[in-house]
C-alpha cells in the first residue's frame, strides 16, 4: 500500500484492493474508539470534504439530544485495511465537525490534538512534537465482574497466573511466572510469545512500526509491545490501532486483554511511560550539554510537566483505578521530580539515549486508560508552558528514594492520591491548556463534570468487597 495523502488516493486504493466496506472510526470523549460502516460505493471525493452525518447524542460527553446531528470527515492519510473483518474493509479515522457551521467540533479529542500541534508551530518553538508511549496490558483467559444492590465481585483467571500453580489442570505443567518476576524468562515460563508476535506482526502490516515485544513484570500474562515514536496526532491514531489489534488478536485466540492500570492486587500495575521531544527543522531541540545531555529548553519543559503534573494527571491517569497504581512506596512514579536513574521519579531521562537525535524526556505517570489525543496534547501544553515561562525544574532526584531521610523525602512533592484530587487540581490549574484555544473552557468543564459524576461519585456510592473483611464484625 503506497503513501495515501488525498481522497483520490483512497479511492484508488479501494479499487485496487477490491474493498467492499468502509469503516469510519472516531474517538469519543472519555477515550473509546467508535465506528460505523458504509458500502464502498458510498465513498467518493465529496465524502472527504462534506463528511457523513450521524447522531452524536449517544456519544459519551458529546452533544445534547436537541443538537445531536454531527459529521465525520475521513482523514485520507489514516487509511488501513482491517486485518480482522471477513468482508474486505478499509478503515478511515475521522475528524468530527458541526453540520451547520462546518467547523471542527471542540469536544472532538482528535481536533484538540490537531490544535495542539498547530499551536506549537504557530508560536515558533518547534514544528513537530514526537511522542513514544510504552503501553502495557494484561492478557487474561477469563474475566467475570458485576456489582448490584446485594453483591459485588470480580474474578480474573489466567493459565499463567501464579495463583494457579496448585490447580488441577490435567496436567498442570507448572512454569507460571512468580509474582513480580515475569520480566522476562524465556518459554515455557513465557507462554505468550507467539501471541505477542502475532500482535506485533499484525500491527506492522497495518503500518504501525514496532520496536520490541516482551513479557512484563507481573504474573498472569502482563505484556508490552513498544511502538516507534511518531508526531503527536499520528501517535495517538497509532495507539488506538494498537489497542484494537491487541484486543482483537487476543479474542481470536479465546483470550481477553485489558489496559486497566491495576487489575491485579499485590503485583505490578500497567503503566504507559510516554517519551516526548520537540524538534524544529529536523533538529532535536531537547539535546544539549546540560544535565543528562539535555538542552535548556528540555529542562524548562520538565519544569512545566512537574509544575502542572497534578492537573495533567486528570488526562494522563484519568480513572479511579489509575490511583491504585500510583501509590507511594511501590516503585510507582509518584515523586514529582526528574532523574536520569530513579524510576520512581515522574520524569526520567533515559540513559541509553546517547545520540543527540535520541534525547527525550520520559513522563512516567500516564497509563493506557487515557484518551491519547487529550493526554498527549495536555503534556505538550504543559511542556510549552514550562518553556515559555522558563520554569526551573529544581535539582534532580538521583538518590535512592528509599534511602532518603523522612525530612528530605517530605520536601519532594507527589502525584495526586485519587482521581478526585487530580480533577480538583485541573479545576484550579488549566490556564496553560487554554492557550491557542487548544482546550476550551467547555472541554475542561465537561471533562471534570463527566469524570466526577460517572466515575468518582459512582465508585464513592458502592461498598468495596474488602470493607466487609474490615468492618463486617464491628
Q: How far is 408 from 129, CA to CA, in rounded Å?
A: 35
Whether 114 is catalytic: no
Q: How far is 393 from 120, CA to CA, in rounded Å?
A: 21
Whether 20 is catalytic: no
Catalytic residue among 275, 364, 420, 430: 364
Whether 181 is catalytic: no
Q: How far is 321 from 328, CA to CA, in rounded Å?
A: 15
Whether 362 is catalytic: yes
- Cis, bond preceding 257 (omega within 30 deg of 0): no
Catalytic residue among 42, 49, 55, 211: 55
Q: How far is 173 from 39, CA to CA, in rounded Å?
A: 49
Which run of H or of E encompasses 359? Answer: none
Question: In the structure grid, which three cell numbers stand for residue 396, read together?
Answer: 534532580
Question: In the structure grid, which three cell numbers stand for residue 375, read together?
Answer: 493526554
Whether 224 is catalytic: yes
Catalytic residue among 136, 160, 190, 367: 136
Q: How far is 198 from 259, CA to CA, in rounded Å?
A: 18
Q: How far is 90 from 19, CA to CA, in rounded Å?
A: 6
Question: In the structure grid, which three cell numbers stand for residue 53, read together?
Answer: 452525518
Whether 216 is catalytic: yes
For 403, counting Cβ atoms within 10 Å of its Cβ (0-12 exposed, 13-18 middle, 19+ buried), the class is exposed
Q: How far is 13 from 40, CA to CA, in rounded Å?
A: 11
For 294, counting Cβ atoms within 10 Å of its Cβ (0-12 exposed, 13-18 middle, 19+ buried), the class is buried
Catalytic residue among 108, 224, 267, 367: 224
Catalytic residue among 216, 267, 367, 455: 216
Catalytic residue among 108, 134, 141, 455: 134
Angle CA 159–161–165, to nearest 5: 85
Q: How far is 123 from 445, CA to CA, in rounded Å?
A: 26
Determine the distance from the C-alpha atom of residue 61 to the mean position of all C-alpha atoms in its chain, rounded to a whole number. 18
Catalytic residue among 178, 343, 462, 464: 343
DSSP 164: G
For 233, phi and psi rounded to 5 degrees?
-65, -45
Catalytic residue among 107, 196, 273, 360: 273
Three-state secondary structure call for residue 418: coil
Q: Is 456 in contact with 419 (CB distance < 8 Å)?
A: yes
Query: Among residues 145, 143, 216, 218, which one has the least CA distance to residue 180?
Result: 218
Whether 134 is catalytic: yes
Catalogue the active-site residues: 55, 134, 136, 216, 224, 273, 343, 362, 364
Amino acid at each position: 500500500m503506497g503513501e495515501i495523502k488525498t481522497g483520490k488516493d483512497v479511492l484508488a486504493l479501494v479499487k485496487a484492493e477490491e474493498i467492499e466496506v468502509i469503516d469510519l472510526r472516531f474517538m469519543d470523549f472519555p477515550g473509546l474508539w467508535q465506528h460505523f460502516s458504509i458500502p464502498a460505493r458510498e465513498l467518493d471525493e465529496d465524502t472527504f470534504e462534506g463528511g457523513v452525518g450521524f447522531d452524536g447524542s449517544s456519544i459519551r460527553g458529546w452533544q445534547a439530544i436537541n443538537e445531536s446531528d454531527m459529521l465525520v470527515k475521513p482523514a485520507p492519510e489514516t487509511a488501513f485495511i482491517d486485518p480482522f473483518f471477513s468482508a474486505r474493509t478499509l478503515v478511515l479515522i475521522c475528524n468530527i465537525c458541526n453540520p451547520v457551521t462546518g467547523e471542527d467540533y471542540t469536544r472532538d479529542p482528535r481536533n484538540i490534538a490537531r490544535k495542539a500541534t498547530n499551536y506549537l508551530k504557530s508560536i515558533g518553538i518547534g514544528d513537530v512534537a514526537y511522542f513514544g508511549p510504552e503501553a502495557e496490558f494484561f492478557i487474561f483467559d477469563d474475566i467475570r465482574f458485576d456489582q448490584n444492590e446485594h453483591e459485588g465481585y470480580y474474578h480474573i483467571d489466567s493459565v499463567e497466573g501464579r495463583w494457579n500453580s496448585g490447580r488441577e489442570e490435567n496436567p498442570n505443567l507448572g512454569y507460571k511466572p512468580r509474582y513480580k518476576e515475569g520480566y522476562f524468562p524465556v518459554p515455557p515460563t513465557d507462554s505468550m510469545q507467539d501471541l505477542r508476535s502475532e500482535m506485533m506482526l499484525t500491527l506492522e502490516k497495518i503500518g504501525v512500526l514496532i520496536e520490541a515485544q516482551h513479557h512484563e513484570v507481573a504474573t498472569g500474562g502482563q505484556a508490552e509491545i513498544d511502538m516507534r515514536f511518531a508526531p503527536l496526532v499520528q501517535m495517538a491514531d497509532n495507539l488506538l490501532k494498537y489497542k484494537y489489534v491487541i484486543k482483537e488478536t487476543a479474542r481470536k485466540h479465546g483470550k481477553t486483554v485489558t489496559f486497566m492500570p491495576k487489575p491485579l492486587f499485590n503485583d505490578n500495575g500497567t503503566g504507559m511511560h510516554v517519551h516526548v521531544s520537540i524538534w524544529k527543522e529536523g533538529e532535536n531541540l531537547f539535546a544539549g550539554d546540560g544535565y543528562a545531555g539535555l538542552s535548556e529548553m528540555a529542562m524548562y519543559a520538565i519544569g512545566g510537566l512537574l509544575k502542572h503534573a497534578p492537573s495533567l494527571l486528570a488526562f494522563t491517569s484519568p480513572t479511579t483505578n489509575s490511583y491504585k497504581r500510583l501509590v507511594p512506596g511501590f516503585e510507582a512514579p509518584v515523586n514529582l521530580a526528574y532523574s536520569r536513574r530513579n524510576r520512581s521519579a515522574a520524569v526520567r531521562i533515559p540513559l541509553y539515549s546517547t545520540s543527540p537525535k535520541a534525547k527525550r524526556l520520559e513522563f512516567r505517570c500516564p497509563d493506557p486508560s487515557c484518551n491519547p489525543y487529550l493526554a498527549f496534547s495536555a503534556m505538550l501544553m504543559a511542556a510549552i508552558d514550562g518553556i515559555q515561562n522558563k520554569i526551573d525544574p529544581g535539582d534532580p532526584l538521583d538518590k535512592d528514594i528509599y534511602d532518603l531521610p523522612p525530612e528530605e523525602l517530605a520536601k519532594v512533592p507527589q502525584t495526586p492520591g485519587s482521581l478526585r484530587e487530580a480533577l480538583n487540581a485541573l479545576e484550579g490549574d488549566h490556564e496553560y491548556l487554554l492557550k491557542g484555544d487548544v482546550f476550551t473552557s467547555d472541554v475542561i468543564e465537561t471533562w471534570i463534570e463527566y469524570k466526577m459524576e460517572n466515575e468518582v461519585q459512582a465508585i464513592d456510592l458502592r461498598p468495596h468487597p474488602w470493607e466487609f473483611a474490615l468492618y463486617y464484625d464491628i
